[in-house]
Amino acid sequence: MELDFERCYRAVDSRDQRFDGWFYTAVRTTGIYCRPSCPAVTPKRENVTFHPSAAAAQRGGFRACRRCRPDAAPGSPEWDLRADLVGRAMRLIADGVVDRDGVPGLASRLGYTERHLNRLLTAELGAGPLALARAQRAQTARILIETTDLGLAEIAFAAGFGSVRQFNDTILEVYARSPSALRERRTARQPEAGTISLRLAFRAPLHAGALLGFLAARALPGIEECDVTTYRRGLSLPHGSATVALTPGDRWVSATLRLADVRDLAPAVARCRRLFDLDADPVAVDGMLGADPALVAAVRTEPGVRVPRAVDGFELAVRAIVGQQVSVAGARRTLSRLVPPAAGELRGFPDAATVAELGDTAFRMPAARRETIRALAQAVADGKLDLEPGADREESVARMLEVPGIGAWTAGYVAMRAIGDPDVFLPTDVAVRRGARALGLPDSPQALAAHAERWRPWRSYALMRLWRAA
């Protein structure tokens, strides 16, 4: 990835928070790297280099700034936007695939050789998949050191390190402090035993009301709940279950996690960020959409509207199928019968293998829709259909369309919310057409689709605007 020196330096000189996560500033004289908005004195031009990833800066021998915490910056919005191999790889690394399955597992998921994947990531990001995962492990370890009472050896393995020595060496290299020295900076104890509280950074603005309102209307009892300030849900993670409470604020989203296994911290954080679309660039999105006279008023009065995404691609696909040609409230009632609430804590949605084996009595819906869900579940369980963020978007949509009962609307909706495609448009959607009329846009599918071409590559965000207008 080429970084224009002048543009990057201007962003650093103005401490522009919008560029946090896009690149990292390394200062030769201090040996540290920072986020662009670091409040420290702007370094001289001749002492600065710019890196496309924290891992690249670490590879160059720089340590993380203790003042601006560059490892806690929002992720680059580029990885949500891009559908190519690098974008897919970055989404999978964030979800902890390298920690669980190694680089061979990542390469296998992507369908490329390890050598080709390493070469491509190094060319684009200045570091290979192992170094990128290592940078993430260091951040996970720092969070656990500073916010939990776990022993340091437990933290080492929970963060994904292969040995305590590797953990000690990495923390010392990245933060210029030993794990025990970092522990001295530990924040106040957690409000409840077994919880981890942290702050999830985002690029302002964030329209929390639109986000929570969308999720509240679709909240499934026993799985999730939402009020005007906080969203809570159960999660099914690689090593066990979890619950999370997310409360948006002015500068970050406060997250409180209860994990059955602390090794799931990184994937839990990645899924929460994905659900709230926290790595988006709202200034770029609103700038594009606000250039359309039909949307300019909506953008000005409600800046920062995000696309609510998903923590589980299969769950989202089932919801989309159940919601075909019925109201949001009707779909919610049907789903509540399919997954009845259980006593106790919120839990994650059943996995594909479980749903594929459910008897007919569990599906209180038309037979054709029941068989569509079963066919989808079987395809996901067999590995023939990938609905997670690292999926090839075009291939996944094509595979979904092969399932009887799944059409263009359902496949597009799943691509937008589960796979994270920022450029989906659904011109046949009744609410979209109603919103278009409210904003003075043409409401015929053909004319509306033609008008929406000017909103690329952010048509998914335009959809949210039209739904709100409806």
**Are residues 162 and 225 both part of a single domain?**
no
Q: At what angle do helices 430-438 and 459-469 cross, to 10 degrees?
A: 70
Q: In terms of Cα–Cα distance, which of 197, 244, 199, 253 is closest to 224?
A: 244
Please state the separation of Cα 129 from the chain's center in Å. 18
Backbone angles phi, psi at 223, to 5 degrees: -105, -45
Check if the beta carbon of residue 310 is closer than 8 Å to that of residue 456.
no
Residue indicated by tokens 């092969």: 402
**Are residues 331 and 420 both part of a single domain?**
yes
Question: Would you state the pLDDT for residue 345?
Answer: 84
**Are residues 249 and 317 both part of a single domain?**
no
> Does residue 291 fall inside a structural domain?
no
- Give the predicted TM-score (pTM) of the model: 0.91
**Domain end: 253, 276, 299, which one?**
276
Q: At what angle do helices 129-147 and 85-94 cross, to 10 degrees?
A: 30
**Are residues 130 and 243 both part of a single domain?**
no
DSSP category for residue 23 = B
**Are residues 346 and 449 both part of a single domain?**
yes
Annotated catalytic residue, options 8, 20, 34, 80: 34
Annotated catalytic residue, options 264, 279, 292, 429: 429
- What 3-state class would DSSP assign to 159? coil
Q: What is the CATH number of the domain that holds 84?
A: 1.10.10.60
State yes or no: is 429 an active-site residue.
Answer: yes
**Are residues 402 and 445 both part of a single domain?**
yes
Q: Exposed e or buried b for every residue in 388-426, given b needs 16+ CB within 10 A? A: bbbbbbeebbebbeebebbeebbbbbbbbbbbbbbbbbb
Q: What is the pLDDT along the chain (470 residues), one digit of tens a residue?
A: 568 999 999 999 999 888 898 899 999 999 999 999 999 999 999 999 999 999 999 999 999 998 999 988 888 888 877 888 999 999 999 999 999 999 999 999 999 999 999 999 999 999 999 999 999 999 999 988 988 888 999 999 989 898 999 999 999 999 999 999 998 876 555 556 578 988 899 999 999 999 999 999 999 999 999 999 999 999 999 999 999 999 999 889 999 999 999 999 999 999 999 999 999 999 999 999 999 999 999 999 999 999 999 999 999 999 999 998 888 888 998 898 888 877 778 999 999 999 999 888 888 888 999 999 999 999 999 999 999 989 999 999 999 999 999 999 999 999 999 999 999 999 999 999 999 999 999 989 999 999 999 999 999 999 999 999 99
**Are residues 447 and 332 both part of a single domain?**
yes
> Does residue 289 fall inside a structural domain?
no
Check if the beta carbon of residue 79 is closer than 8 Å to that of residue 87.
yes
**Domain end: 20, 54, 72, which one?**
72
> Does residue 281 fall inside a structural domain?
no
**Are residues 99 and 239 both part of a single domain?**
no
Strand order in the sheet with 48-51: 48-51, 24-27, 32-34, 63-64
**Domain end: 50, 72, 94, which one?**
72
> Does residue 117 fall inside a structural domain?
yes
Q: In terms of Cα–Cα distance, which of 174, 198, 203 is closest to 187?
A: 198
| Residue 175 identity | Y
Q: Exposed e or buried b for every residue in 82-115, given b needs 16+ CB within 10 A? A: bbebbbbbbbbbbbbbbbbeebeebbebbebebe
**Are residues 346 and 444 both part of a single domain?**
yes
pLDDT, tens digit (0-9, with 9 covering 90-100), for 309-357: 999 999 999 999 999 888 888 899 889 888 887 777 899 999 999 999 9
Q: What is the DSSP string of 107-129?
A: HHHHTS-HHHHHHHHHHHHSS-H
Q: In terms of Cα–Cα distance, which of 258, 236, 254, 235 is closest to 246?
A: 254
**Are residues 165 and 20 both part of a single domain?**
no
Q: In terms of Cα–Cα distance, which of 210, 203, 393 is closest to 279?
A: 203
Range of the domain at 66: 5-72
- What 3-state class would DSSP assign to 257? strand
Backbone angles phi, psi at 141, to 5 degrees: -65, -45
**Are residues 212 and 178 both part of a single domain?**
no
> Does residue 178 fall inside a structural domain?
yes
- Separation CA 17–CA 37 (nearest Å): 5
Residue indicated by tokens 């997250």: 255
Total domain count, the chain: 4
> Does residue 306 fall inside a structural domain?
no
- What 3-state class would DSSP assign to 288? helix
**Are residues 256 and 371 both part of a single domain?**
no
State yes or no: is 34 an active-site residue.
Answer: yes
> Does residue 99 fall inside a structural domain?
yes
Q: What is the CATH number of the domain that holds 206?
A: 3.30.310.20
Give bridge partners of residue 253 from the DSSP assignment. Answer: 200, 248
> Does residue 295 fall inside a structural domain?
no
